[in-house]
A and B are shown apart, each in its own frame.
Chain A
């Protein structure tokens, strides 16, 4: 009996020990196909997504976003506390953190990095941390951020790329007289504390990152992250070529798969066609100023805007243009944006109502409108053509003007456009950025449309200092209610990020803000 029990125990013990602890495989380089190259790998002074989405692999922030992009988890800081009056945040730095060159990350690096990001006129992202007044340190583990006013978004701001912690001494030692000059020199060989470190960059072609041996986070197997030896970003601007390269096995991942090929790749047994939830929204921006080019502008009439909305069959556009990859918008902000409210699609297709509204507005014979679209862009041409046909039914003649991006941006910023197609993704997991650009008129005249609502402006200002979550949610609910009903847009659809991955790729994540996270990615052998 005793022998049997011993044998049974021994067998169970052996079985437990011989089972693999976890299925994670280490090693290998993941080749990832991008549609465009980064331009400036600088957390504070970069200008766009092509840089932002890669920065989180080289740099680290105090707080990290959770995998769904909406919550917070410890990064370089292990804990944080918002003061009761909301005027300061105290953070504790993690033990033993180092930059990828082996030098320790100190509280001084943190202070310097945050103050640099918050300096007025330093980069276009400064507004995300504008509430920071000063940063002080206590001992070698504590950082205290003093705020100019209570900022409900400050913790989310500390997960954003422009608050990446950079090595002060290395940066200041870079050649150059001004911060901008030093930044240019430093960005040629950036040093951060993210899971990967910069190795080489053939501009326009190939950027190689390798594993950072000093990275602080551990994997499921108890060993340091990342699992990969490196990431190789290859620039393949042509969609068809990028997909071909993935299918032939030369790439293990490819971003921005055209919607028209999503179904085909879903059926491809070599690939996993992922659709990551995103904050991306696509819409028509309407110039609502009373006069345009010396003539009366029909779009200044709210009933006209409603009529255009009801005359737009969003489901049809989602089908034709996004091949059913997109979904209808239930608010001007995406469902993945915090404090989003609304669960019914905005302005469901109703042609009869649209016709009635046009007549009520005083345009029984219709009118002409001009829409700026991006020349050669398949999606925009598709949307434009569909809108032409749909709006014909209510007597609106839509002229499509195909221009290049810089021309359109120029007209847009000058407010001389009549209508344009546009898309937006959030840069922070908080609704204040999109609300500031779309609804709060002092920022950019409500997406350069000239729309203004005093109640919305007041609510926005209030919400920027509102640290009671319930009150803030109510303020945003009301802002959305007003904007969705009377705002200067025709919402079209939300689309996820379409990324195709080789079957052996695991653990890759693209958060709703767009950042490509390779931290926990691994290649199955």
Chain B
């Protein structure tokens, strides 16, 4: 089946991508000025202490040797130990990454829930008041910086109205979802704006297409036309855009996690870079690369399903 072999080919392509990412990240983070020992110990570090810690961490070895140790470690499935947090990198990622993934998935869902129906409405009522209102509202959401939007939502809906907690993550899974509603909404708004505009334009384009005229001429019901022909075709370009936006969502997650005090991987990445926690930065980049690649793959599969011409 062409779809299955397409999927298989794409998965194989991922492996050299991951290796490339690993090498690049290793080089980038090691070439930054500063080192984990001084970053950890701060201004009071005595030379003897820094030298001792550098030696314990193997950082006084030449760079190629360090890379070989690292490569060997990763090949055996060990992501190493975090220098700042003093715990296995894999364990910490397993704790923090799902938080960001949940936040990102919720943000993506909210963005779709907002963008798709409203894009349809705006396209079908093109150039009327409702169209202008929808586009205007999204424009505002798009122009506000994420941290400002987050703070506004927190102030109004959490601190004043007490509908939501002021940041944090909660204890049980349902609690987590509840705590993540505001941050996910914050993240979703700018993505929704971009998706909405793109989908609206695509729908308008499709509505004018010849096959839609043909479907109408055949006497098909309007709803059937909308879903089977219009939506399916209009979604093609939007799905691609959506997949590409996942990277932006993850980036926005960093700020959102800070503002809403969510213990996710975004904040962890920033802290690890500041602290020159090499194993953590490398391990987390690999984990994020896997996630983003899988999202691209999923997007491509959905596209291939929507448009069978892609898989050939």
Which residues in A have some Cβ–Cβ distance to B below 8 Å? 39-40, 47-48, 121, 124, 127, 184, 187, 202-206, 234-238, 240-242, 244-245, 247-248, 250, 404-413, 422, 424, 437, 443-444, 447
Contact = CB atoms under 8 A, between A and B. Distances in A.
Contact of B162 (A184, A242, A248, A443): A248
Contacts of B42: 47-48, 409
Contact of A204 (B43, B52, B151, B268): B268
B267 A237 contact: yes
Contact of B34 (A39, A241, A245, A409): A409
Given A244-B154, A245-B159, A407-B34, 4 more contacts: A48-B40, A48-B42, A234-B261, A241-B260
A202 B168 CA distance: 11
A422 B42 CA distance: 11
Nearest to B275: A406
Contacts of B44: 124, 437, 444
Given A203-B95, A443-B46, A406 B274 contact: yes
DSSP majority for the B interface? helix
B45 A124 contact: yes
24 contacts: A40-B86, A124-B44, A203-B85, A203-B87, A203-B263, A204-B263, A235-B261, A235-B263, A237-B261, A241-B151, A241-B154, A242-B261, A244-B151, A244-B158, A247-B159, A248-B160, A404-B34, A405-B34, A406-B33, A406-B276, A410-B33, A413-B38, A424-B43, A444-B46
Contact of A39 (B84, B162, B268, B274): B84
A240 B22 CA distance: 36
A39 B86 contact: yes
Interface of B: 32-35, 38-50, 52, 84-87, 92, 95-96, 147, 151, 154-155, 158-160, 162, 165-169, 258-261, 263, 267-268, 274-276
A404 B274 contact: yes
A205 B169 contact: yes
A405 B259 contact: no
A203 to B, nearest CB: 7
B46 A204 contact: no
Contacts of B160: 248
Given A204-B263, A237-B267, A437-B44, A407 B86 contact: no
A409 B261 contact: no
A409 B38 contact: yes
Contact of B33 (A121, A205, A241, A407): A407
Given A47-B40, A250-B165, A406-B39, A236 B151 contact: no
B154 A410 contact: no
Given A237-B258, A406-B34, A413-B50, A39 B85 contact: yes
A244 B166 contact: yes
A31 B249 CA distance: 31
Contacts of B33: 406-407, 410-411
The 6 A-B pairs with the shortest beta carbon distances in the complex, nearest first, are A406-B34, A204-B263, A205-B263, A410-B34, A406-B39, A245-B166
A238 B261 CA distance: 7
Contacts of A234: 168, 261
Contacts of A443: 46
Contacts of A48: 40-42
Contacts of A202: 169, 263
Q: Which of B48, B50, B52, B263 has the most chain A CB within a 10 Å cutoff?
A: B263
A240 B261 contact: no
A74 B40 CA distance: 33
Contacts of B95: 203
Given A250-B165, A406-B32, A47 B154 contact: no
Contacts of A39: 84-86
B46 A47 contact: no
